[in-house]
Structure 1
Amino acid sequence: MGLTQVQDKSPLVSTLPFEIEMINRIKNRIFYTGVMALMVACTDLTTTPRQSLTPEVALNDVSGYQSVANSMYNRATSFDYYGQTMMIAPEILADNLKLIANTGRYQGEEANSDRDHINIWGLDVFGGINDANLIIEGIDNEDVTGTEDEKSFIKGEAYFMRALFYFDLCRVYGYEPGREINGFDLGPILRLTPTLVASDADYRPRSTVEEVYSQIESDLLAASELVGYAPVGSEWVYYGNTGAVYTLLARLYLYWGRMEEAEAAATFAMEILNLRTNGEGLVEAAEYVQSFSRAPHPESLFELELRQVDWDGADGVNNSLNSLVSDNEPAAQFIIGASDDLMAAYEEGDVRKDCWTVTTREGIEGDVYASRKWTGYKGDFLENLPIIRASELYLIRAEARYQTNPAGARADINALRFRRGLGAIDNLLSGEFLLNRILQERRVEFALEGHRWFDLKRNGKNISKHGNFLEVPYTDYRILANLPLEEVQLNEQLEQNPGY
């Protein structure tokens, strides 16, 4: 079995402070290529039903734990999570998308109606957290057969995914630290041990967002020492990897308002991933649109792989991103298109505008815009989901720098714009104008990838809307999603969000 030595790619900004040492996390890390082979081999592993997995039945070797990790990843592809909700709802709750057909879906979200929000408080996310907890608590048991490298890799995957699950719960159901309204600072329930049987379950109150953020930071730093290095756009981005870990850490710090750490984490990730200050490492402008019809996406740092077996019956037609926002299949629903406001936000020559094509829709007067970002390129409305892309690092670092190093922020924006067919921005742009420029770049770069609502919310801005829909003031209770009523009724310690 061969050995793969990860290159020493220490960051240039090694003097920047971190609460926990970031530097040398990857230096001299050695991973068995056999671990990677295990990841691939286990993709199609057949196990007993998930509810029947017990330590006695399935968790006596690393392949059993990898099957739990597969369950963890698969939960993230659910239509109630990244398979649909987390990609579409944050866009139509803001100003990027509009309904072009009335099927009852997303009508409340477009109008920001009471209790029509992002709903991920359910089995997919908390089940994924439980999968991660199961791995973290049990895989190091001496009775579990497998090499230490194999165990470490799977444990690192669990830390990474638990961090992602909790991060999403925080940004949907809580205010970012320092942005609280009337001092309300609660996030999700924090549970770090597995629930194997009913007697393990208990009712508990919500933790503060600050407490959960601290746990996410700890999980990501733990993951950084365990997972492997994956080149941008390689087949290993289907699993937790160092680049994805540090990008999510940089994103966490950005939401947390810890800008110096966000800049350092982003810089570190860019260094190890060979992303250059001139944009080298991102796709060329001419390849941008087509890049969304490739698996993995050539800019992916973390991607959820979908296969035909992941669809159930008519789910592909009824629920897939491709069906809802594109018209390239006769059976597609095509009920959501780009808003006129979004289309007006693209500059002339911006290749990102070509991710939309002008077309018509029965019952709608005038032009509508269909997505060419989600094309169902794997057939039958099926495609992978790039969750973290390399371009985000440039925009995280730009935002982290805009107050203290506006020239550096402008350079990061320009590096991305060059790869999107555009020229440089005004080299005198600074302050709030520069921040708005960054948010504008994020809007057009990540349209239909689920960032728009959160980018406005985490900056304390009112939520802008398209057409005649009224903006949502940041102080409005609808900024936070409501917890499901049945959960609040079941658990007396679970406090509902204000206003609901």
Structure 2
Amino acid sequence: MNKNIKNWLFIGATVAFMTSCDSQLNVLPTASIDESEALSNSQAVEVTLTGAYDALSSTNLYGGAIQYSGDLLGDESEVRFAGTFTTLDEMWRKTFTTTNGQTQATWLAGYNTINIANNVLSALDKVDAAKKNTVEGEARFIRGLVYFDLVRLWAKAWGDGDANANLGIPLVTTPTRGVTDADFRPRATVAAIYAQVIEDLTKAETLLPNVPAYNVDEQFGFASKGAAQAILARVYLQQSNYAAARDAANRVIQGAQFSLEDSFDAVFSDATNDGEIIFQITVSDQDGANNMNLYYAPSTYQGRGDIRVQTKHLNLYPADDPRGIFFVRASGNTFTAKFLDQFGDVPVVRLAEMYLIRAEANLRLGTTTGATPLADVNLIRNRAGATPLATVTINDVLAERKFELAFEGQQIHDAKRIKKNVGTLPFSDNKLVIPIPQREIDTNKSLIQNPGY
């Protein structure tokens, strides 16, 4: 299955057929085909799965919005949003309106992707036996990944009150092919969403091969065993389940399917990155879009230059850390150098994060599974060209995450899991949770709005 087949007209029809997602909008698809055609045989189901990847790569999801939402929402005046889009400005200022068009678009794109995955999972009996495990694993990976990031953005964080009582997001695991009253689902609890995420990713890990059998230039744009393990490591870390986070990260590292690049800057160039990215959104000049480039890069690199790095962030880096100069200057402003290629692939998760998760979890538990925390942290520092540490503390690991993963979408989630203020706002402030789109609330009377909106 080659990613280019997502341009087939069949995909357009299939995705349109499935777009009556659980966004709770009572709008029927403008184009449709009969289910008996859409999911009638193995090839049709496989093409539909490719449509799920296409949906996942939307700029409203992992083509940019999931990542910049996490960073703008978690920003503490380390960047400045200087663009004209009020939707992103609200995110950066933590002044959301319930009619914010960008958050609504991300919600809709998320549930559209989940619905396509649900359609694939509903038709596994049509898939050729030799491909069935892989198809199910990929669909479960996609669904688990999306549910994880939606619940992190639209609900109280794990550990902020009772996850068994806090409202998460609607949980839908069967296809929505026409909107009826039965499709107006209430919000499941945060705990229920996390349970589904873990179930999907755990199952995906058991079903998927180590590396997908696609073209080598595209393989990291598809789910693999390592990708499922890596997102599981994130999930468990978010829950402060350090033993499970450590072990999942260790499985990725010990699997030896991925390797650190020789230099930090090589990670962010498609020409030199050939092994560190565990899962990415593949972009080319014919297909896909990179909204990280759009917002984070200046016009000299085809971006808008809306997100500008401030001195407060630059001052965080020690003088001996070359990551502190991995920036570019244009028109008197500073920009991260991570997203300078308009057609660059968008990283979702990479191996360096796994070493840092293993280091933090081992340190908190007093264990040395895989390696000592000091060895893991220094591995990442050495690759970056920073001076190795003689000893390591939790604060050192958290600082290393900040330096290594800056502008990759983890800022708000790290703040919430360690219960750290975001500027003057406590980690539990309602302003740090995105409101349910008003259009959803107006249509689905079963939905309850987040506090404070």
Describe the superposition over 1:356-392 as per-residue Cα deviations: whole angstroms up to 9, x where unpaired: 113334xxxxxx212321122xxxx322111111111
In structure 2, relative to structure 1, the CA distance for the partners of 1:342 and 1:309 (3 Å cut) is same
CA distance in 2, matches of 1:40, 1:109: 33
Aligned to 1:452: 411
Q: Which moved more, 1:45-54 or 1:127-136?
A: 45-54
Q: Of residues 92, 112, 120 in structure 2, which corresponds to 1:110?
A: 92
Q: Does 1:46 align with 2:9?
A: yes
Q: Of residues 426, 432, 448 in structure 2, which corresponds to 1:479?
A: 432
Other structure's SS at 2:207 match: coil
**Preserved contact between residue 243 and residue 365 of structure 2 (Cα < 8 Å):** no
**Preserved contact between residue 160 and residue 428 of structure 2 (Cα < 8 Å):** no
Aligned to 2:24: none
Q: Of residues 127, 140, 145 in structure 1, which corresponds to 2:112?
A: 127
Aligned to 1:353: 324
CA distance in 2, matches of 1:487, 1:134: 22
CA distance in 2, matches of 1:152, 1:53: 26
CA distance in 2, matches of 1:230, 1:488: 41
Describe the superposition over 1:56-91 as per-residue Cα deviations: whole angstroms up to 9, x where unpaired: 223222221122222211222222222222222322
In structure 2, relative to structure 1, the CA distance for the partners of 1:97 and 1:248 (3 Å cut) is same
Aligned to 2:62: 82
Equivalent residue runs for 1:409-420 within 5 Å = 409-420=373-384
Equivalent residue runs for 1:31-430 within 5 Å = 38-39=1-2, 42-47=5-10, 48-49=12-13, 50-51=15-16, 52-93=32-73, 94-95=75-76, 96-102=78-84, 104=86, 106-115=88-97, 119=103, 122-140=107-125, 144=126, 147-180=128-161, 185-199=166-180, 202-230=183-211, 235-273=218-256, 281-285=259-263, 288-294=264-270, 298-310=275-287, 320-327=291-298, 329=300, 332-361=303-332, 368-376=333-341, 381-405=342-366, 408-427=372-391, 429=392
Identity of aligned residues (%): 27
CA distance in 1, matches of 2:361, 2:225: 21
CA distance in 1, matches of 2:230, 2:301: 38
Describe the superposition over 1:158-194 as per-residue Cα deviations: whole angstroms up to 9, x where unpaired: 0000000100111112223332289851111111100
- The letter of the residue matching 1:473 is P
Shift of 1:463: 0.9
CA distance in 2, matches of 1:404, 1:84: 34
Aligned to 1:24: none
Shift of 1:123: 2.1
Describe the superposition over 1:125-173 as per-residue Cα deviations: whole angstroms up to 9, x where unpaired: 0011011111111122xxx3x5312222111110000000100111112
Other structure's SS at 1:375 match: coil
**Preserved contact between residue 92 and residue 98 of structure 1 (Cα < 8 Å):** no
In structure 2, relative to structure 1, the CA distance for the partners of 1:100 and 1:489 (3 Å cut) is closer
**Preserved contact between residue 300 and residue 388 of structure 1 (Cα < 8 Å):** yes
CA distance in 2, matches of 1:261, 1:332: 39
In structure 2, relative to structure 1, the CA distance for the partners of 1:406 and 1:225 (3 Å cut) is closer
In structure 2, relative to structure 1, the CA distance for the partners of 1:355 and 1:201 (3 Å cut) is farther
CA distance in 2, matches of 1:252, 1:175: 15
- For structure 2, list consecutive stretches of 5 or more residues without a partner in the other structure: 17-31
Coordinate RMSD, CA, aligned: 2.7
In structure 2, relative to structure 1, the CA distance for the partners of 1:269 and 1:331 (3 Å cut) is closer
- The letter of the residue matching 1:303 is Q
**Preserved contact between residue 43 and residue 70 of structure 1 (Cα < 8 Å):** yes
- The letter of the residue matching 1:283 is E
Shift of 1:114: 3.9
Describe the superposition over 1:437-461 as per-residue Cα deviations: whole angstroms up to 9, x where unpaired: 2222112211221111111012211
**Preserved contact between residue 300 and residue 330 of structure 2 (Cα < 8 Å):** no
Describe the superposition over 1:89-124 as per-residue Cα deviations: whole angstroms up to 9, x where unpaired: 322231342124555463222322243888265321
**Preserved contact between residue 137 and residue 208 of structure 2 (Cα < 8 Å):** yes
CA distance in 1, matches of 2:96, 2:299: 34
CA distance in 2, matches of 1:115, 1:197: 29
CA distance in 1, matches of 2:173, 2:394: 36
In structure 2, relative to structure 1, the CA distance for the partners of 1:242 and 1:129 (3 Å cut) is same
Other structure's SS at 1:438 match: helix
Other structure's SS at 1:387 match: strand
Shift of 1:462: 0.7
Other structure's SS at 1:119 match: helix
Q: Of residues 368, 387, 398 in structure 2, which corresponds to 1:439?
A: 398
In structure 2, relative to structure 1, the CA distance for the partners of 1:409 and 1:486 (3 Å cut) is same
Shift of 1:310: 4.1
Shift of 1:54: 4.0
Shift of 1:479: 2.1
Q: TM-score, normalised by structure 1?
A: 0.78
- For structure 1, list consecutive stretches of 5 or more residues without a partner in the other structure: 1-37, 276-280, 362-367, 465-470
Other structure's SS at 1:198 match: coil
Looking at CA atoms only, which structure, 1 or 2, has the larger radius of gyration?
Answer: 1
CA distance in 2, matches of 1:196, 1:481: 27
Q: TM-score, normalised by structure 2?
A: 0.86
Other structure's SS at 2:228 match: helix
Q: Aligned residue pairs: how many?
A: 425
Shift of 1:45: 3.7
